[in-house]
Chain A
Amino acid sequence: MTTSSLLKDAPAFAKLAERARATIATHGWPTSRLEGFRYTSLRGVAELASDDAPPLDAYSVDGSSGDVRIEPLATALQRDDVAADFGSVAEIDTAEAALVAFNTDAVQGGLVIDVAAGADATLALSLGGARWPRLLIRVGRGARLRLRERWTDPATLTAPVTEIRLSDAAVCEHLVLQDAPTDRRILATVAVDVGRDARYEAHVVQLGAALGRIALPVALRGDGSHCSLSGLLAGAGTQHLDAHVVVDHIGQHTRSEQHFKGLFGDAASGVFRGNVRIAREARFADAQQMNRNLLLSERARAHAKPQLEIDNEDVKASHGATVGQLDANQLFYLRSRGIPESVARDLLVQAFADEIVAALPDAALAETVRGVLRGRLAVAAEVHA
């Protein structure tokens, strides 16, 4: 019996699978007519997906500490409480959510992760070779989870779906480092539901893959809930990287911060979309958003699309987006001290990226990211020399 059919035997799964199939039947693969896919083409991806996916591991656990329970999805789903939460965080019925529907329909396995109320836990995961992997993460009341994910060797095409549910006053600090080989396509969804006074903190770094997209819908449901989302997209060659953030302010006194940077060389391209929606009842919301993109070549492209939808007046909101080249005055200043142009450029590029990298909550992973960027710059400098 495959994992997939095991999952489908879980009674509570049947209804969700039906909704998934309905979405697939109605909408199919996302097309560029959808706002969220306007600059990220999925051409050729559907063909890849129709190949039979080898039933590989969805995730491997690289390490954990503290009071955290890790169960295979197939067995955990037999429990009613898990079945009730599974599929309850990520949207599944809309055209934009079709990837979640595909994942739900074909899900091959994954993990259910529970952090007990009040516990303090750390967990490091690596994404495996499955096409349709899945995570359900539940952080109990007042608990804290430090989650580190490494997406280094995924399937040629993978569309992981992660659902994170934070109970009241819980904290989840989530770091994702995507450094996959540049022949891979990754279409990830990380959906988060944040409870009262709880906090979700994401650090998303995408360096690899031919196509790397992370959709990050966060619902600030509880009063006083807070999310802080930051990320770096660094592409070269013909890479295309996309961060698609949607923050829903639902509770009162909710706060969101987004700080994303894009760095694109050669013919690489990137998209940052940050939607902030502040509901009528979400009084005293505070939403800050910043997106900066640096283009290192004439052929590189960045699309920055911040968007604020505000339905009430008691809010503080700010947003800004820029797409630009290296600052000519800074370059001149460095060169006027004798620093060769290629070195001056590298220093400025590293400085740009380091604003995000230095804030990563894991020093070793930050150093890994710096190493990859340095390697890339050195290669670029050689080519130009």
Chain B
Amino acid sequence: MLTIENLHVEVDGKAILKGLSLTVPAGEVHAIMGPNGSGKSTLSYVLAGKEGYVVTAGSIRIGDFDLLEMSVDERAQAGVFLAFQYPVEVPGVNNKVFLRHALNAKRKAAGQPELDAVSFIKLLNEKLALVGMSKELAGRELNSGYSGGEKKKNEILQMAMLDPKLAILDEIDSGLDIDALKAVAAGVNALRSPQRSMLLITHYQRLLDAIAPDHVHVLLDGRIVHAGGPELALELEERGYDWLRAA
């Protein structure tokens, strides 16, 4: 379960999040919608612990952990996963080698032994099938030269491999064609679980048609200004955000 209370965040001295509160119980999928520049990606980066995002007030807890006390890699090891709006290309680092390092770092933190090569490949093949990604792609240099859709699929593969407690998916639908959107949504749906909270950042109803959220929140000017059930997304599609600004 994710609990954010009264979160204030500055970037380069500029206030971006201004008292954001949000709770996502385990097993639920919550969508966050909001106009460009309202602070959605900022929220995702703060959760992941990116440098330069200064928390001036508030708290973030996931389960028993105080996230703000933890480094980027500790958060990930504890089960935070951010699917990037713009996944980073890392030429020269093999995708599989990367995944194995990531998985073993998590196992080590949990006091588990490293996964041997055979078990790793078995797990990888299983998850590749789950997200509908080719072995060829999984063996290439990390995100390097991947198409936009391939990058997004690779984010879902990483999520499947790392089995996080909290997954934040920042515009996982952007840049995807119709089939890729279906495939990615199927991957995400397959990863819904009673142990996992998911935060789905999106601009579009069509993603929420494919991945039905339990709740929808509207983030506007650094705050959650409105919340509702799945039907709220439809209303936003029709009315835009202005009526909420006025409120």
- Give the B-binding residues of A (Cβ under 8 A): 328-330, 332-341, 343-344, 347-348, 350-352, 354-355
Give the distance in Å from the alpha carbon of A71 to the alpha carbon of B49 in the complex: 65
**Is residue B226 within 8 Å, beta carbon to beta carbon, of the partner chain?**
no
Q: Which residues does chain B contribute within 8 Å of A355, judged by CB atoms?
A: 91-92
Q: Which residues does chain A contribute within 8 Å of B72, judged by CB atoms?
A: 332, 335-336, 341
Give the distance in Å from the alpha carbon of A339 to the alpha carbon of B73 in the complex: 6
Q: What distance in Å separates the Cβ of B79 from its nearest Cβ neighbour in chain A?
A: 9
Contact with A along B11-52 (1 / 0, CB 8 A): 000000000000000000000000000000000000011110
Say yes or no: B90 contacts A348, CB within 8 Å: yes
Q: A338-B77, A339-B101, A340-B73 are in contact. Are A351 and B92 (CB under 8 A)?
A: yes
Give the distance in Å from the alpha carbon of A350 to the alpha carbon of B50 in the complex: 23
Give the distance in Å from the alpha carbon of A347 to the alpha carbon of B158 in the complex: 18
**Is residue B93 within 8 Å, beta carbon to beta carbon, of the partner chain?**
yes
Q: Which of these, A333, A341, A354, contacts B87 with CB under 8 Å?
A: A333
Choose, from B102-110, B181-189, B217-225, the stretch at the interface: B102-110
Chain B: interface size category: 20 to 34
Q: Which residues does chain B contribute within 8 Å of A340, judged by CB atoms?
A: 73, 105
Say yes or no: A338 contacts B48, CB within 8 Å: no
**Is residue B207 within 8 Å, beta carbon to beta carbon, of the partner chain?**
no
Within 66-105 of B, Cβ neighbours of A (below 8 Å) are at 71-73, 75-77, 81-82, 84, 87-88, 90-93, 97-98, 101-102, 105
Say yes or no: B90 contacts A330, CB within 8 Å: yes
Q: What distance in Å separates the Cβ of B94 from its nearest Cβ neighbour in chain A?
A: 9
Say yes or no: B101 contacts A343, CB within 8 Å: yes
Say yes or no: B90 contacts A339, CB within 8 Å: no
Give the distance in Å from the alpha carbon of A351 to the alpha carbon of B92 in the complex: 4
The winner among A330, A336, A355 for most chain B CB atoms within 10 A is A336
Give the distance in Å from the alpha carbon of A330 to the alpha carbon of B144 in the complex: 12
Say yes or no: A338 contacts B102, CB within 8 Å: yes
Q: Which residues does chain B contribute within 8 Å of A343, judged by CB atoms?
A: 101, 105
Q: What distance in Å separates the Cβ of A110 from its nearest Cβ neighbour in chain B?
A: 38
Give the distance in Å from the alpha carbon of A335 to the alpha carbon of B91 in the complex: 16
Q: What distance in Å separates the Cβ of B72 from its nearest Cβ neighbour in chain A?
A: 4
Give the distance in Å from the alpha carbon of A334 to the alpha carbon of B73 in the complex: 8
Say yes or no: A337 contacts B90, CB within 8 Å: no
Give the distance in Å from the alpha carbon of A332 to the alpha carbon of B48 in the complex: 9
Q: Which of these, A330, A338, A347, contacts B88 with CB under 8 Å?
A: A330
Say yes or no: A341 contacts B51, CB within 8 Å: no
Say yes or no: A336 contacts B105, CB within 8 Å: no
Q: Knowing that A332-B48, A338-B76, A338-B106 are A-B contacts, what are 15 other residue pairs whose CB atoms are under 8 Å apart, sorted by A's residue number?
A: A332-B72, A334-B98, A336-B50, A336-B72, A337-B98, A337-B105, A337-B162, A338-B73, A338-B77, A338-B102, A338-B162, A339-B101, A341-B71, A348-B90, A351-B92
